[in-house]
Amino acid sequence: LEMESEAGAAGALHGALLSGSLASTFTASQGLLLMIPNMYKIAGEMLPAVIHVASRSLATHALSIFGDHQDIYAVRQTGFCILASSSVFDAQNLAAVAHLSAIKGSLPFVHFFDGFRTSHELNTIEELPEDKILSLVDHDAINKFKDRCLNVGKKYQYGMAQNEDIYFQCMEARNKYYDAMPDIVNDYMEKINEIMATDYKPFNYYGASDAENIIIAMGSVTDTIKEVVDKLGNVGLIEVHLYRPFSKEYFLNVLPESVKNIAVLDRTKEAGSTGEPLYLDVCSILKGKDINIYGGRYGLSSKNTTPSMIKAVYDNLKEEKKNNFTIGIEDDVTNLSLKVDNNFHLDNENYEIIIYGYGSDGMVSTSKDLLRIIGDNTKKYVQGYFQYDSKKSGGVTRSHLRISESPIKSTYYIDNPDFIVVSKDTYIYKYDIIDNLKQNGILLLNTSLSKEDFTKTLPNKVKRLLKDKNIKVY
């Protein structure tokens, strides 16, 4: 049945679970908010639902269809456990962890990954074998769940009204299930680690064992941070996977004793609060320790977050120590943005392509085909990310394609391509298309102009760049 909204979808999910079916749904943004009343019920009744979320912005002063963590943070009070994936590969593996843990621990999960940046990314990954997942399922837990379903023959009641004599006690009676969940999640992570040769933990540490300055974050930005950590060497990252329940024990297990300064990056804004949600959780866990903790915001509405911006966060921990900062924008009103060193670049061995298209001209689909052909028929790794605006057809599309001999973890736009394709010749006159094209790069242009007319009308700035960069034009 197609429900009229996500509120109805959540009601159907709740009903399916009450009748003893394992049920799951998929949503994002305002859709997740419409599920909140049912989510409280599902969590209160300890039903093993899993909601997979491509995490996205909420409509505030304006609507945005793009990605951040506002929707996830808006449901942290419902009682759902929350598991975060950082990449396409994680989304496959941790989706399984969410389902397995929900069944065994008898609590519902939100499993989320970044909207667009992860949900719309193409990447070469190793597949998790279905038979291996099925071997991990706790069938006794499934039988117990089915045994308490609503059925004429069962002696169960759901949805009663309670007064002050017992409501509070029933709320507290669920504590032990939440206390047990981090160990259940960790156990299933270890089982997935054995199958996939990964190293998942509720919190993963990456970087120098004696780092004094670290970042704490969750979602796709952590892969960018790892690249910067590799370059800088003396810093670190705590990557959050299990956000709820937030386990003090597992967090302190991975926190290096050497740490003096922490920047907590949140992909949301809670206006009027003393800090964003992840920042406040970290402050609560580290209360009384001699560690400086600074909060910052990044990436709202899919704003690009580059390695140079991450370096600015580490620089801030060493020098200015600004709290409640922002990266990715120029804040000349409240002056909260950090200074960024735009000369900071990472070295990589990727072959990088940007394809400019016109919304609905097929260039995004062509880019995906190109990657699938290379990914399926060669030993190379591929990654594709497709940037388009909310105007859909008629807007400018940019396809960012990376091809490499090793796995690709860069979760930001290509800024120095080897090859640029332009499907609509007017873009050359309108936009700074080739400013960042590599020395000796290639430009492929689709035009109906003759060679003479094209050469005559090309802007002087473009001609100069073609000459200085020794660019081959086709």
pLDDT tens figures, 93-129: 999 999 999 999 999 999 999 999 999 999 999 999 9
Helix residue spans in 242-285 (DSSP H): 248-254, 277-285
DSSP string over 328-386: SS---SS--BPP--TT-------EEEEEEEETTSSHHHHHHHHHHHHHHHSS-EEEEEE
Neighbours of 185 (CB within 10 A): 29
Residue for token digits 């449901």?
A: 75
Distances (CA, A) of 99 to 76, 159, 409: 18, 25, 26
pLDDT tens digits, 19-77: 999 999 999 999 999 999 999 999 999 999 999 999 999 999 999 999 999 999 999 99
Vertex 355, ends 354 and 359: CA angle to 5°?
Answer: 135
Percent of the chain scoring above 90 in pLDDT: 91
N residues, the chain: 474
What are the two backbone dihedrals, phi and then psi, of residue 162, each rounded to the nearest 5 degrees? -125, 150
pLDDT for 387 beyond 80: yes
Distances (CA, A) of 28 to 9, 79, 115: 13, 18, 8
50-55 sheet: strands from edge to edge? 24-27, 50-55, 109-114, 81-84, 242-244
Supply the Cα-derived Rg of the chain in whole angstroms: 25
pLDDT for 392 beyond 80: no
Q: Are 109 and 82 in contact (CB under 8 A)?
A: yes
Query: The whole model's pTM is what?
Result: 0.95
Cis peptide preceding 245, ω within 30 of 0: yes
**153: confidence class by pLDDT, cuts 50, 70, 90:** confident
Residue for token digits 């990314």?
A: 121
Please, what is the average pLDDT of the chain?
Answer: 95
**How many CA within 13 A on the CB side of residue 162?**
11
Region 378-407: what's the mean pLDDT? 90
pLDDT for 201 beyond 90: yes
pLDDT tens digits, 271-329: 999 999 999 999 999 999 999 999 999 999 999 999 999 999 999 999 999 999 999 99
What are the two backbone dihedrals, phi and then psi, of residue 71, each rounded to the nearest 5 degrees? -65, -40
Q: Are 348 and 381 in contact (CB under 8 A)?
A: no
Q: Are 201 and 192 in contact (CB under 8 A)?
A: no
